[in-house]
Structure 1
């Protein structure tokens, strides 16, 4: 994961170059989705991105969870690489590093956690961006993202940020020309995205569930994209710990079925999933739209809150009495594409000093209409 950590390192001296780590393969480095990495994989990924590896005989290094690192330079960058025999042992190595260095002097650098590999970047290479491409390649590359085509998508839907119970889904249909344009735009951003690392804190948000974009492929693979947040811990005066959320700049969280959650760097997709989606015409949902959805259930009511419709209803009695009934509609906007729609029948009668009124109240969003309250006072004349 490409995040800034406090890197504790006190002895960096006697640097020397003693040759090439490995022979360079002319073939493209390829790592399968479940493969554990070796030093050869790491070396090949760096070389393929134009970062030539040379041994670095530094005196300072740590044995982490029983593993010694290899140290090397690349384009004036300095790296310390640990290869563990499992991802769990890599995590234990990271924990071991914290234990060994908690009282030492502090320096800042980048740390990459890639499958079973831990990479300390002590000094950035001249072309620092290439390191991102190396990490991408070690994760198996973003080929599965870059190869996604509109033809291979079965469905897509967006669930805006919500507080648990109030979720609703906005569908994107590739058969619709305008919605197809939105999907194509999203695919373009995914094609150019960079893998940062695992999303250890990828499901922490600002007091609610983050905005989520779900994509189902024709081959059955599901992909979920979410706004990315990290948790921030702080100690209170009473000794308790306060957990807060902080959005991660330019990053989103990706979950592909059968794999761990990952972080992607894509400024355009980050901005879109935070707020840009709400400006898309295909997601417009107005007062008129909300009322139209309700009227599919109650078609006889007026299609505008400004109108009053008069009907005559049989209220019983031996002669089949009819009375004039006034039908009205009311729409209240809640925000976030949600509305309360109330349909009212006014019988223009008073019984026991109270007006006789029947109503139905619905909670409406783009994906559903839910009856939340009603009262039936149909008068019967004997």
Structure 2
């Protein structure tokens, strides 16, 4: 096996370019004496809310806490149904299940991997309470249509934007469209902290106050606790300071991601691959570049031998995970989960990020071409 010639995603290079700013932010936090809450958290919350076009941002410990806190604030519980994508990261489902609610999977678009609005409409029942789109791999879900469906059926929309910082739909940034938008700032995200972090944006002030309370032991006033459905989940001041530094670079990094995706799209045309596409009046932010092929295992091994690492997002359909064994028999034959199983068997994420050089990208492309030349 060859030593890696190309990083899958190079966090060190990404951080090195802004290292003086990050070091200054860290020093500022240490000297401030504020280690829980305080001005760094308030500043980032204000700036990120303004960036996405929402009135409120609530910092959380991570992305899954953000999802859970919003569902708690919307009183989602036992027996309620939440419509989710069949193909997504498991955290989307787990946030629903931990409250005793039922995740109802729907199919995704084969080219963009985001929810199919027609599938959403067909999945609505009298028990449906929330629609939870996921802007998977950085491609925005069709939020305008989803909001129309939700309004027609008196439902809430809580979108999972863990992979979509900066994405737009119909001229509006993700984070300003749904009733609440949940974010992960895990280090590898387009806007990533140097540890775990998350957040919620909304323009519903009452909902924002409720979400903030759910992350503070159910308390708005010290030692006065209103809700048992709550947690201790806060955005750390150090991470808030790092995120505020990175926020000023996000648009430039996303533009570079779009250039990398365009290079891959052009260079891989004509191969027996299912390439990702952009659909609708959207601005994607290309968190990942995911191809599909029935020869996924062979291609991955071949690239690894050439020193090119790849990852699989995600290798198992959620109903094939032991955590959801009780739902498997009920859901595994639905169109959504049959599709999810097929995507999981074929998808492969190529090295991708705003800091890859053209030489590195060409190495990846040449190796993919070589594989298919040898495996016609």
TM-score relative to the length of structure 2 = 0.26
Instruction: Please tell me whether Structure 1 or Structure 2 has the larger radius of gyration of its CA atoms.
Output: 1
**Higher share of residues assigned helix:** 2
TM-score normalised to structure 1 length = 0.25
Structure with the greater relative contact order (CA < 8 A, sep ≥ 6): 1 or 2? 2
